[in-house]
Amino acid sequence: MKNKGFTFTLVVAALMLATGLVYYLIYNGTNYLSMQAVYALIGGAILSVLLGLVLGRFAPALQFGAVTVALCFYVYYIYFFVSSAIYGIQYSGLPFEFFVNAACYVVMFLASIINCFVPHTAKEQ
């Protein structure tokens, strides 16, 4: 029986795929795209859904882990850009796309945390 926990898992998975896609589209061709992050998001989304079908209560943990790993890789690849924009010769602001992408990561991350506390089994419900 699928419950609202699984639904939330699907939502988080969708957010992961969307974030991965946005990230790829914005930063493709630059040094700031981490394919490790993209793979973690896509792989994590797919595996978490599959896992959710079988062992629903573990799916959020998998998602949280994948999102955290992706976030770390994203930060690692983007930090130089942020620091050179802020501490460069003349600060002129960060571009709009940066904020769009960062917002996606933040929303996705928060959703993955919430999903860990949403009931995923009948017992939890």
Partner 1 sequence: MKVFRKILTMLSFFLSAVLVTGSVIANENAPQINGFLNLETYKLEEVEGADTKLEDTLYYTSDFATIGEVREHAVSVAESVVVEGTVLLKNENGTLPLAKGSKVSLVGAGAYDPVYGGTGSGGISGAKQVKYNESLEAAGLVVNPTITERYLSEDWAQYKRGSSGSFGTTRFLINEVPWTVLSEATGSTFAEYGDAAIFVVSRRGGEGYDLNGDCDGIDNNDGLGPDYLGLNENEWSIFNGLKEKKAAGEIKKIIVVVNFSSMIEGDFIKDEAVDAAIWAGAPGAGNHLFGQILVGEYNPSGRLPDTMFMDNAKNPTNVNFGWWVYPNTEELGVSTFLGTGQYPEITLGSYMVYQEGMYMGYRYTETRYEDLVLGTQNVGSYNYDEVVAYPFGYGLSYSDFELSNAKVTKTGDREYTVSVTVTNKADSKLPGKFSVPVWISKPYGDYAKKNGIQVPSVELIDFGKTEILQPGQSETLEIKLDEKFFASYDAEEAKGYVLMGGDYYVCVGGSAHEATNNLLMAKKANGVTIDEGKMIGSGDASLVTKFSIDYNKTKYQMSDQVSSTDGTYHVVTNLFDEADINRYSGRGTNHVDYYSRDNWAAVSLDMVNGHPQLVMTEQMAYEVYAQVPDQTGVYNAPPHTPDKYVQPIPTDDVAYPTMGKDAGLQLIDMMYDSEGQPIDMFDPVWDTFLDQLTWEDLMSLCSNGFHLTVAAPSVGKPSTRDENGPNGWTRFNYTSRQNGLFYLYEKEKGNVDAEGALITDKVDQNGIAQTRGEAMSAGFPSNGLLAATFNKKVAYAVGNAIGNEGVWAGWSGIYGTGLNIHRSAYLGRTSEYFSEDGTLSGLMGAEWSRGCEEKGVHVYNKHCALNDLESCRHGVQVWLPEQALREIYLRAFELPITMGGAYNTMASFSRFGTYSGAACEALAKHFLRGECGMKGVIVTDYYGDMNGNQNVDPYFEQVYGTYVGGSDIPDGNQPAGNEQNGVPNHFAKYATGYGKMAWAMRDSAKRLCYQTLWSNAMNGVSSNTRVVQITPWWQTMLQGLQIGFIALFALCALWTIVAMIKEKKAA
User: H helices of the chain, where?
Assistant: 4-27, 35-54, 59-87, 96-115
Nearer to partner 1, 7 or 84 (CB): 84
Least distance (Å) between residue 18 CB and partner 1:
22
The 66-85 site mask, x for binding partner 1 (CB under 8 A), equals: --xx-xxx-xx--xxx--xx
Q: In the range 90-109, which residues lie near partner 1 by CB under 8 A?
A: 90-92
Q: How far is Cα 124 from Cα 15, in angstroms, rounded to an integer?
A: 24
DSSP string, 46-74: HHHHHHHHHSGGGHHHHHHHHHHHHHHHH
Residues that bind partner 1 in the complex, under the rule CB under 8 A: 30-31, 64-65, 68-69, 71-73, 75-76, 79-81, 84-85, 88-92, 113, 116-117
